[in-house]
């Protein structure tokens, strides 16, 4: 099988482009369109005071922006069902204060928390506080403290970059200037797995963001890509072509034992994503002639085909709540869709206005970061599966794609 790189450094298998940013197509009869407008809780921040220091003011501003971006709240001046009160003040190099959240309808205090942070980093304190408020009021994980890794192409160079969930603090994670593919988070927010050509070959690596150390995970002959860590942190799934066609393999990180998961002659598999319980993989295969999604038990003998309609379906990502996001081509453009295995229903989130690819779930199972390409430029956007409008995440010069959202 012939493998080649396309214009964005992704692989194509034969005449059919696989899941390194390829996408898929579904007929209208199989897709439900999401309408905008999710129901929100009225929340008041009137009682949340900040002193005159710049750091305290930044804390207050970022906190409000985080709560709005969460999708769960609308900021109300009066008559709110939830009141957030307290204060934030600076003293030397420290930020201190208090946050109290009250449900006015039930007359119940939902959160009472001391605020402690650094004057040099008020955004981090605001993110943590916003997440605590979301958890206390809605009972779901917040996303303000999370991070996103992506591929950035600037001035002819490719490297990995990181940013906060609101797009702030964009910074470079690698300095190779070489083609890099498929970044994904390792353990916590201190490790990243990815494929790099910095040595001239597509090898899989793990980098330590704290110390900067890089470890080669796979350097077999041929393709080594798509490495993703299992939920228990003990194994990685990836695509290797060392035995011929690109197939899925699982490597035990402690013992180094490599297990072959798929064996499909004259076809290729790519873009594995773990189920929340770590027992299954969803992936892309062109065994039926064009890229489609399949699910297979970790050591099962057969794979179940997940998509049937459309010419191509690719780039799957499994959410914590069991839904699968993927990229789908419809009418000449790529769209983001979701498959709900309980309802057995496919839902389309985007509709035209460019190509939408590379979906990755946030830990709240409500938001998705993805790539939107329009006018030959690529930027990252945040999608809300409950219907809020897409939000552009990146604004810096260059092309930004292949994002992965951290789980914490």
Residue range of the domain that includes 169: 3-35+143-405
CATH value at residue 105: 3.40.50.10070
Q: What is the pLDDT along the chain (408 residues), one digit of tens a residue?
A: 323 333 343 333 332 333 333 233 322 223 333 344 568 999 999 999 999 999 999 999 999 999 999 999 999 988 899 999 999 999 999 999 999 999 999 999 999 999 999 999 999 999 999 999 999 999 999 999 999 999 999 988 999 999 999 999 999 999 999 999 999 999 888 999 999 999 999 999 999 998 889 999 999 999 999 999 999 999 999 999 999 899 999 999 999 999 999 999 889 999 999 999 999 999 999 999 999 999 999 988 899 999 987 679 999 999 999 999 999 988 889 999 999 999 999 999 999 889 999 999 999 999 999 999 999 999 999 999 999 999 999 999 999 999 999 998
126 and 163 assigned to the same domain: no
301 and 368 assigned to the same domain: yes
Supply the pLDDT for residue 34: 39
Residue with the two structure tokens 């353990």: 187
Domain boundary among 93, 114, 138: 138
Pairing between β-strand 41-50 and β-strand 82-91 as defined by DSSP bridges:
parallel
71 and 120 assigned to the same domain: yes
Domain boundary among 93, 123, 138: 138
Strand partners, 95: 90, 117
Domain boundary among 123, 138, 153: 138
Supply the pLDDT for residue 96: 96
373 and 389 assigned to the same domain: yes
Phi, psi of 383 (to 5 degrees): -105, 145
Give the containing element (helix H, strand E) for 64.
helix 54-69
Q: What token pair was written down for 376?
A: 């030959």
132 and 182 assigned to the same domain: no
67 and 195 assigned to the same domain: no
Q: What token pair was written down for 79?
A: 């008559």
DSSP string, 177-188: -S-EEEEEE-ST
96 and 228 assigned to the same domain: no
Q: What is the dihedral of CA 100, 103, 108, 110, to 10 degrees?
A: -50
Strand 345-348's sheet: what is its strand order?
A: 31-33, 345-348, 333-340, 324-330, 313-318
| Domains identified in the chain, total number | 2
Please state, in angstroms and rounded to a whole number, the distance separating the CA atoms of residues 16 and 396. Answer: 32
191 and 59 assigned to the same domain: no
Q: What token pair was written down for 189?
A: 């927010």
CATH value at residue 169: 2.120.10.30
Please state, in angstroms and rounded to a whole number, the distance separating the CA atoms of residues 260 and 73. Answer: 46
Supply the pLDDT for residue 310: 66
Supply the pLDDT for residue 28: 28
322 and 205 assigned to the same domain: yes
249 and 156 assigned to the same domain: yes
CB 66 within 8 A of CB 144: yes
Supply the pLDDT for residue 44: 97
251 and 113 assigned to the same domain: no
Q: Could you tell me the pTM of the whole model?
A: 0.90
283 and 372 assigned to the same domain: yes
N residues, the chain: 408
Supply the pLDDT for residue 300: 81
Please report which residue ranges of 70-138 form alpha helices under DSSP H: 122-138
Give the containing element (helix H, strand E) for 55.
helix 54-69
Pairing between β-strand 280-285 and β-strand 82-91 as defined by DSSP bridges:
unpaired
DSSP string, 115-130: EEEETT-HHHHHHHHH
């Amino acid at each position: 099988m012939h493998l080649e790189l396309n214009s964005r450094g992704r692989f194509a298998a034969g005449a059919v482009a696989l899941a390194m940013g390829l996408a898929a197509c579904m007929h209208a009869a199989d897709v439900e369109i999401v309408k905008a407008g999710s129901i929100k809780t009225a929340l008041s921040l009137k009682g949340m005071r900040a002193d005159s220091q710049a750091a305290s003011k930044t804390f207050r501003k970022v906190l409000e922006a985080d709560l709005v971006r969460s999708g769960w709240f609308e900021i109300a001046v009066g008559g709110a069902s939830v009141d957030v009160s307290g204060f934030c003040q600076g003293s030397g190099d420290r930020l201190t204060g208090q946050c109290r959240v009250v449900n006015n309808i039930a007359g119940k205090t939902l959160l009472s928390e001391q605020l402690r942070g650094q004057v040099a980093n008020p955004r981090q304190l605001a993110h943590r506080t916003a997440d605590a408020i979301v958890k206390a009021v809605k009972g779901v994980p917040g996303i303000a403290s999370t991070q996103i890794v992506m591929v950035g192409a600037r001035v002819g160079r490719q490297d990995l970059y990181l940013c906060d969930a609101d797009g702030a603090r964009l910074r470079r994670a690698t300095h190779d200037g070489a083609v890099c593919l498929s970044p994904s988070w390792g353990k916590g927010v201190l490790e990243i797995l990815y494929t790099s050509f910095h040595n001239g070959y597509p090898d899989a690596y793990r980098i330590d963001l704290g110390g900067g150390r890089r470890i080669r995970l796979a350097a077999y002959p041929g393709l080594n890509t798509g490495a993703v860590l299992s939920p228990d942190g003990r194994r990685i799934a990836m695509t290797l072509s060392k035995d011929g066609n690109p197939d899925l393999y699982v490597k035990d990180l402690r013992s180094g034992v490599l297990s072959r998961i798929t064996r499909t002659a004259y076809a290729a598999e790519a873009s594995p994503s773990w189920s929340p319980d770590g027992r299954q993989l969803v992936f892309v295969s062109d065994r039926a002639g064009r890229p489609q999604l399949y699910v297979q038990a970790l050591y099962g003998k057969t794979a179940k085909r997940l998509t049937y309609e459309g010419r191509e379906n690719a780039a799957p990502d499994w959410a914590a709540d069991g839904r699968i996001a993927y990229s789908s081509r419809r009418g000449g453009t790529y769209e983001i869709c979701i498959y709900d295995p309980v309802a057995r229903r496919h839902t389309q989130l985007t509709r035209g206005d460019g190509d939408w690819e590379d979906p990755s779930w946030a830990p709240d199972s409500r938001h998705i970061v993805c790539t939107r390409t329009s006018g030959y430029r690529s930027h990252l956007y945040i999608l809300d599966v409950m219907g809020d409008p897409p939000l552009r995440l990146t604004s810096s010069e260059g092309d930004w794609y292949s994002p992965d959202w951290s789980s914490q």
